[in-house]
């Protein structure tokens, strides 16, 4: 492993100053469950780590507000998953967290680090293979390799690696935003604008500058939270990444008609994927098996399979349909 310096600043201002003075190869370090893992593999080679995992001001969880739920960047996944308001009113958020990783990892991993986790494509993680994401221009080993886990939506010629996270998919469905602080001041980025498709630059995965620190995630308060679910389909029942997942949140009119609907997909796309066409397919009518199925098909329209992952298209469609059924049932309670 390349040697690096380690500092643990005690304020946001110090953390931003530390990253700026440490140069372009310095990285923020939170739970380390992505970064330290990839440093051991030689995939990440930071020159300096600025530890933000124990900045008290970043660990706040406040779900009491009328406008937003507020999750400090360094709040742990396990703590947000156990928040009583999240558990009661936002099952899509709670399920996206407790169905991710393991309790040990969730005690370490932060909700901001989770947003910037890297793909689990086996070729990205292995120095022996070419990978346009790891080494721009070197080629893509998955193209002629085992691409069973790759994405079918948002794919590009250079890279089709799937986005691996769950929580960002749930946040996207709920129109969350992140507040960011950098040397040039503070700004707010919507979840929709945070992650980018690979295009010709798959090494660029999000729209933040290296010296910008996420300080909090805000989720607009919504009654659709109660009628929500995060359904995650994987090779084993627990402790595995998604092959396909759907975050769905709905509200119903008194007559059982879907009034508002949000759908986002995980496991099947190169970034957290909002499915607006699928939302339109169910909004304004009661949910039936047919409309749910139609929404699933709309969500996966335009999918481009590789060699071994065409199964993700039907799996994704069915995951959306089943998540809609669960969300509508919860909304009707």
Q: Which does 170 bind (CB under 5 to 8 A by kind): another protein, ligand FAD, none?
A: none
Q: Which does 238 bind (CB under 5 to 8 A by kind): ligand FAD, another protein, none?
A: another protein
Q: Which does 8 bind (CB under 5 to 8 A by kind): another protein, ligand FAD, none?
A: another protein
Q: Can you tell me the distance from the alpha carbon of 177 to that of 214, in angstroms, rounded to the nearest whole number?
A: 10
Both tokens of 325, joined, read: 């059924």
The site for another protein (CB under 8 A) is made up of 1, 3-6, 8, 29, 31-33, 36-37, 40-41, 49, 51, 53-54, 78, 98, 101-105, 107-108, 238-239
Angle, CA of 182, 187 and 190, to the nearest 5°:
125
Least separation in angstroms between CB 330 and ligand FAD: 22
Nearer to ligand FAD by Cβ, of 120 and 304: the residue is: 120
- Helix, strand or coil, per DSSP, at residue 18: helix
Least separation in angstroms between CB 123 and another protein: 16
Q: Which does 4 bind (CB under 5 to 8 A by kind): another protein, ligand FAD, none?
A: another protein
Is the Cβ–Cβ distance between 283 and 195 less than 8 Å? no
Q: Can you tell me the distance from the alpha carbon of 90 to that of 75, in angstroms, rounded to the nearest whole number?
A: 17
Parallel, antiparallel or unpaired: strands 244-252 and 228-233: antiparallel
Least separation in angstroms between CB 87 and another protein: 13
Burial state string for 175-192 with b = 16 or more CB within 10 A and e = fewer than 16: bbbbbbbbeeeeeebebe
Query: How large is the greatest C-alpha to C-alpha distance in the chain, in angstroms?
Result: 63
Q: Which does 73 bind (CB under 5 to 8 A by kind): ligand FAD, another protein, none?
A: ligand FAD
The site for ligand FAD (CB under 6 A) is made up of 27-35, 37, 52, 73, 100-101, 105, 108-110, 112-114, 116-117, 164-167, 213-214, 241
Least separation in angstroms between CB 81 and another protein: 11
Nearer to ligand FAD by Cβ, of 147 and 166: the residue is: 166
Nearer to another protein by Cβ, of 134 and 262: the residue is: 134
For 163, 237, 288, 291, 301, the CA distances from 321, given in Å and listed in that order, are 21, 19, 10, 8, 14
- Helix, strand or coil, per DSSP, at residue 207: coil
């Amino acid at each position: 492993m390349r040697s690096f310096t380690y500092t643990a600043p005690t304020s946001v201002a110090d953390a931003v100053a530390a990253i700026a003075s440490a140069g372009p190869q310095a990285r923020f370090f939170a739970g380390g469950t992505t970064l330290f893992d990839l440093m051991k593999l030689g995939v990440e080679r930071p020159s300096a780590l600025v530890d933000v995992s124990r900045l008290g001001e970043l660990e706040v969880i406040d779900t009491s507000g009328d406008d937003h739920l507020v999750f400090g960047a360094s709040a742990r996944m396990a703590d947000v998953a156990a928040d009583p308001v999240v558990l009661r009113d936002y099952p899509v958020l709670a399920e996206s967290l407790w169905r991710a990783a393991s309790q040990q990892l969730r005690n370490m991993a932060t909700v901001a680090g989770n947003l910037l986790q890297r793909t689990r494509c086996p070729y990205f993680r292995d120095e022996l293979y070419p990978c346009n994401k790891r080494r721009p221009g070197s080629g893509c080993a998955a193209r002629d390799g085992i691409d069973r886990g790759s994405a079918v939506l948002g794919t590009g010629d250079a890279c089709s690696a799937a986005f691996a996270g769950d929580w960002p998919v749930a946040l996207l469905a709920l129109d969350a935003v992140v507040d960011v602080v950098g040397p040039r001041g503070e700004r707010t980025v919507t979840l929709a604008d945070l992650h980018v498709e690979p295009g010709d630059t798959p090494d660029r995965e999000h729209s933040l500058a290296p010296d910008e620190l996420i300080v909090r995630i805000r989720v607009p308060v919504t009654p659709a939270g109660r009628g929500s679910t995060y359904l995650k389909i994987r090779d084993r029942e627990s402790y595995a990444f998604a092959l396909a997942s759907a975050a769905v949140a709905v509200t119903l009119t008194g007559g059982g008609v879907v009034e508002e609907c949000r759908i986002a997909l995980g496991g099947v796309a190169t970034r957290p994927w909002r499915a607006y066409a699928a939302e339109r397919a169910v909004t304004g009518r009661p949910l039936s098996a047919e409309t749910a199925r139609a929404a699933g098909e709309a969500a996966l329209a335009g999918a481009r399979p590789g060699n071994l992952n065409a199964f993700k298209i039907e799996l994704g469609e069915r995951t959306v349909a089943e998540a809609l059924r669960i969300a509508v049932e919860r909304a009707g309670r």
